[in-house]
């Protein structure tokens, strides 16, 4: 019989991190521990990580913990509508199955045989702050940089991107941008056209989710490849996933297990996307190293050459100790 408990953790950002939805200074997560009742000394750990206003299973701290209490009373609950909790439980159970040593999957990554290419993340802020972050990422050896846009003046953002392109060609540095739904449908086509002249690899979620017709039209006309992210949140049934991807026909999709159905939901999105010839990559949803470790191991189960969004382990002052290492634009793990 499986027994479970949870505990709340708050992680402090090293510096305020800006998005189009506001500035983040702390991150809340709950760790789930599971064990066989008769052998409590061996336990698995998973992370339930939320982003207020984005996580579909988070309304308030009180209601979220009520869900976790329900789960601890019955680990066989249907968690399809609670993706962050589902991800935490799936991770914990897999960890327990593999001996409670942080091994979610026994694969080439956990054996230390491969490294995963990742992008460096640049947060929103004034031009000076963003330039400083870009320089740090370049000096750290990243060749793919993801820049969050949509919070400051668009012309200033264009100038920032131009300044990078004056120094580095698209063959030297791959640039991705993430709008987090900041553009309106009426302005998006014009803004994407301007961005496309700067040899941008792709743009994440240019308009807010839920506007399927507008997004479909934009994906059809765009000169800049579009990657869906928030658009996938709350889509639980496989039939609805197929319908969304067929109607919108995006150039890419981006998957976050805490938002997109946990491990099993992410695996289903990948299966459907590959059947429709839609490339994908996986990104953390600002998890601590517990969740990030699981996402890296899940990603390593697939053969992918695209840089993934897994470089978030250094965000926090009080992160959990980890054997994950980021160097020269790759993430790897010490032998577990």
Residues annotated as catalytic (active site), given as ranges: 148, 256
Contact 193, 162 (CB under 8 A): no
Contact 246, 228 (CB under 8 A): no
Contact 305, 115 (CB under 8 A): no
The helices-and-strands tally (H runs, E runs) of the chain is: 9, 13
Element (H, E) at 48: strand 43-49
Helix 289-299 and helix 83-97, axial crossing angle in degrees, nearest 10: 80
Element (H, E) at 327: strand 324-327
Contact 290, 320 (CB under 8 A): yes
Rounded distance between C-alpha atoms, residue 100 and residue 290, angstroms: 12
Element (H, E) at 71: helix 61-73
- Within 10 angstroms of residue 23's Cβ, the number of other Cβ atoms is 14
Residue 183: helix, strand or coil by DSSP? strand
Q: Partners of 308 in the beta sheet? A: 118
């Amino acid at each position: 019989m499986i027994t479970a408990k949870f505990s709340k953790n708050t992680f402090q950002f090293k510096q305020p991190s800006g998005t189009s939805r506001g500035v983040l200074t702390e991150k809340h997560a709950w760790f789930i521990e599971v064990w066989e009742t008769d052998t409590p000394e061996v336990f698995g750990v998973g992370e339930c990580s939320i982003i207020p206003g984005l996580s579909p299973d988070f309304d308030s701290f009180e209601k979220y913990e009520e869900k976790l209490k329900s789960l601890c009373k019955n680990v066989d609950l249907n968690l399809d509508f609670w993706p962050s909790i589902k991800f935490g439980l799936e991770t914990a159970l897999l960890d327990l199955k593999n001996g409670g040593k942080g091994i979610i999957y026994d694969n080439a990554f956990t054996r230390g045989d491969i490294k995963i290419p990742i992008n460096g993340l640049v947060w929103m802020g004034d031009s000076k702050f963003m330039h400083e972050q870009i320089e740090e990422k370049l000096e750290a050896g990243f060749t793919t940089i993801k820049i969050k846009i949509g919070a400051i003046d668009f012309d200033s953002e264009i100038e920032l991107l131009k300044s990078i392109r004056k120094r580095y060609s698209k063959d030297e540095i791959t640039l991705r941008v993430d709008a987090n739904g900041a553009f309106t449908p009426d302005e998006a086509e014009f803004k994407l056209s301007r961005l496309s002249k700067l040899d941008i690899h792709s743009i994440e979620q240019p308009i807010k989710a839920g506007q399927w017709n507008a997004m479909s039209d934009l994906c059809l006309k765009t000169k800049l490849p579009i990657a869906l992210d928030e658009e996938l949140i709350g889509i639980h049934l496989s039939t609805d996933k197929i319908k969304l991807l067929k109607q919108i026909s995006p150039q890419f999709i981006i998957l976050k297990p805490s938002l997109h159905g946990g491990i099993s939901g992410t695996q289903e999105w990948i299966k459907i996307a590959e059947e429709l010839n839609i490339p994908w990559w996986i990104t953390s949803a600002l998890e601590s190293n517990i969740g990030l470790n699981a996402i890296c191991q899940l990603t390593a189960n697939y053969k992918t050459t695209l840089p993934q969004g897994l470089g978030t382990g250094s965000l926090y002052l009080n992160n959990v100790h980890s054997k994950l290492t980021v160097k020269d634009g790759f993430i790897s793990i010490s032998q577990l």
